[in-house]
Amino acid sequence: MLYYLFTYLDREFDFFGAGVFQYISFRAGMATLVSLLIAMIFGGKLIKILQRKQVGESIRDLGLQGQMEKKGTPTMGGLIILLAILVPTLLFARLDNVYILLMLVSTVWLGLIGFLDDYIKVFKKNKEGLAGRFKILGQIGLGLIVGFTLFFSDDVVVRQYLFGDGSISSVNASSHFTDVHKMITTIPFRKNNELDYCNLFTFAGPLFQGWSCYLYIPFVILVITAVSNGANITDGIDGLAAGTSAIIGMTLAIFTYVSGNTIFADYLDIMFIPNSGELAIFCLAFVGACVGFLWYNTYPAQVFMGDTGSLAIGGIIAVLALIVRKELLIPILCGIFLIENLSVMLQVSYFKYTKKKYGEGRRIFKMSPLHHHYQKLGYHESKIVGRFWIVGIMLAILSLATLKLR
């Protein structure tokens, strides 16, 4: 909103300083600052409201050290994160940008699903919350919205450069180019790293080649569901999900900025995605929201984000990666979410297999998700969180290295 206001003031009245709002870097910095302030100021007030309404977390005794001390800690703190993302984005981003609109829809959509789950747990006294099938349906619904928008919208384009010999490329800038709507992405650590979803089955003939484009939409659904649930599972100890998400969000902010800037895209020899640079504002608002939330969520937590926050932050990360054509990098970038997810899947699968084969279930880990395994080993949760953050930073650096390491 402020972008349009100051653009008008600059154009009509040559208002002093108004032109600075044309720069994404300035608006992204302001979005970060505002999101931090909202999370820190609004967070304290929301915690008091939740305490008055006795919106406390019900804790199952899993035998973890210090676990029962958290009983009654306010939940639904994800509202802090949602507000700290939405307000700065609405203030500083261009609201006619298809990618910004898609991120706003994704944030609100999964935030509402998570809020409904927390509401049922807290106010309806149902520990199971929203049935799992309804969560999955909600994630599929968002996947369809995102998939169809990216697949069919004429505003979703990549720039391809034309050369004298008739060849085209999404990198190696020339003075002649065209913006095309194509479902192409980038493959990490590969030199000629463009992958066209429509060419996945060229070996099977023209019939299958035509249909392979439509596999993109189910793939989008899979990515959003997996990352959203991964963030949800990771949200198990104080500060883990928020801190990990802030690291991932900062990495994606860099990806969005360089992918949406012709100079950096040309220098790094990467795909230029017109108008995607605006997403840096959203990304840094997201980072500010997560870091601001840590003010109250680090050990000992004064508030839990609940599904209101965890489902939303996972979905946000997934959609951002899809927009900047980095979805194939998710297993590295979101490695913490992946290993947490896998630890649960392996534990459950092995338990069922051994129970069927030997008559009693056996376990790979002392407890899943993985962070609980380390708690069972006697590690304090602050040490677990700190080490997970360090691993997350290493994975983020490795992800950024793919800009040049090919």
Closest CA to 340 of 244, 232, 234, 248: 234
**Pairing mode of beta strands 184-186, 177-180:** unpaired
Closest CA to 389 of 292, 320, 291: 291
Q: Flag whether 307 is marked binding.
A: yes
Which amino acid would we find at residue 171?
A: V
**Per-state percent for the chain, helix, strand, coil, to nearest 5:** 65, 5, 30
The DSSP-derived string for 124-185 is S--TT-S-HHHHHHHHHHHHHHHHHHHHH-TT--EEEEE-TTS-EESSS--S-EEEE---EE
Q: Flag whether 232 is marked binding.
A: yes
Q: 330: exposed, middle or buried (C-beta count within 10 Å: 0-12, 13-18, 19+)?
A: buried
Closest CA to 138 of 312, 322, 338: 312
Instruction: Supply the Cα-derived Rg of the chain in whole angstroms.
Output: 22
Read off the DSSP letter of residue 364.
Answer: S
Given a contact cutoff of 8 angstroms between Cβ atoms, the answer to whether 328 and 185 are in contact is yes
Binding residues for Mg(2+), as ranges, are: 232, 307
Binding residues, as ranges, are: 232, 307
